[in-house]
Structure 1
């Protein structure tokens, strides 16, 4: 089943108890709000689907995994309410992944920036290629990774998150990400990555469903406050995106 275009695309397949979500956007697989909402809806639907035990999330193509928030939509924000509404899309998606009753496996084939790092962090287990460098560039455009920070910090620790955030212009290698715990393993080629994803997901889907559900609960213990925390963070970003600094920086980045 395929959903959407021109605001992005989302393809969903279910086979052998494994659901695969493939999102895409012409601008380096970036996220407009509509695509964030579609993904959130599908995670909620799959969470309640008894035929699914494992979810794989990946993106289209062989370039970037995800460039984060849509610059076009960020530039179009004209007031705090609109800004908060846009960033709350990331809040809702991360919370949907957190609350999903199924284990989520991330397939990161290329570079991830900002919200893309957040999505990789919100997966329960993530595999990547050695080309899958990561960057939190938000400070460079006048905002910050406020909504995704809890997920990133939970995965790699506050110190590593701060290192990424404060060095906003610096790419961190896939091996760095693996050493910090974001990636469980890295592979030389996309083919090797796909083979590993298929093998791991198949094994995971063969386990006791009740045990998988209890494991999911344990992985996300002490995150109940994220329901409100992430929306509070969205309001911070929604305010900052209106600053002259951010508007100028976004225009320069877009060029």
Structure 2
């Protein structure tokens, strides 16, 4: 299978478009997680960047979450923690970026993909968007992404998502619970709405937007350590007998 890619393009107006792609429904193996974190960090430090847009390739699935093949190949608890820490690095890259990060969601998101949506500062989607946390079905849990989801949607919505691992919740449910901030009928309308929002935001004071972002993320200064601890929980569980059996039989 092709390894996928992460790429960044910064246009003349200062919009840094970060696109990730993987042939397995835009799943995120370690290499792509590392690339996402690095490119978000890099885009945020570039003088010409005024706004970051995070998107995936294609017209269907936004993100299938963790790479299933890589989950099956994790040899031990230490390697498991390292893998799940990749999601923590991406979330913390978005959190610590001085630039606002806008999410573009064209379709379904599972597991870690929901974490990406939750971490974005503002997120727009199509009617085809839907979210699902499948981790409990795999014998683990959404531990690394849970703080980001709880911050946006609250503990009740996190509970509902976590305890219904086979159910997709539609875009309107996600919007009602604060994970999405606008829904468009199709991709054409979505891109038009994103273009309009980006034009407005890039014309605003960058100092004011950076200060606003710090305010919006108030109370998360411990997330480097928190998400690392959460990754350790997933790393331990993924190599346990229950998770091994579920991964084998899925």
Query: Normalising TM by the smaller chain, what interval?
Result: over 0.9
* 3, 10, 20: which one aligns with 2:6: 10
Q: CA deviation at 1:105?
A: 0.2
Is the CA contact 2:19–2:55 (under 8 Å) kept in the aligned structure 1?
yes
Is the CA contact 1:8–1:32 (under 8 Å) kept in the aligned structure 2?
no
| Aligned counterpart, 1:49 | 46
5+ residue gaps, structure 2, are none
| Aligned counterpart, 1:64 | 61
Tell whether 2:238 aligns with 1:249: no
Q: CA deviation at 1:154?
A: 0.4
Tell whether 2:72 aligns with 1:93: no
| Aligned counterpart, 1:221 | 218
Tell whether 2:224 aligns with 1:232: no
Q: CA deviation at 1:58?
A: 0.4
Q: CA deviation at 1:168?
A: 1.1
RMSD: 1.0
5+ residue gaps, structure 1, are none
- Number of aligned residues: 249
Q: CA deviation at 1:6?
A: 3.4
Q: Deviations over 1:55-79 (max 9, x none)?
A: 0000010111000000111000111
TM-score by length of 1: 0.96
Q: CA deviation at 1:252?
A: 3.1
- Report SS of the residue matched to 1:126: strand
Q: CA deviation at 1:27?
A: 0.3
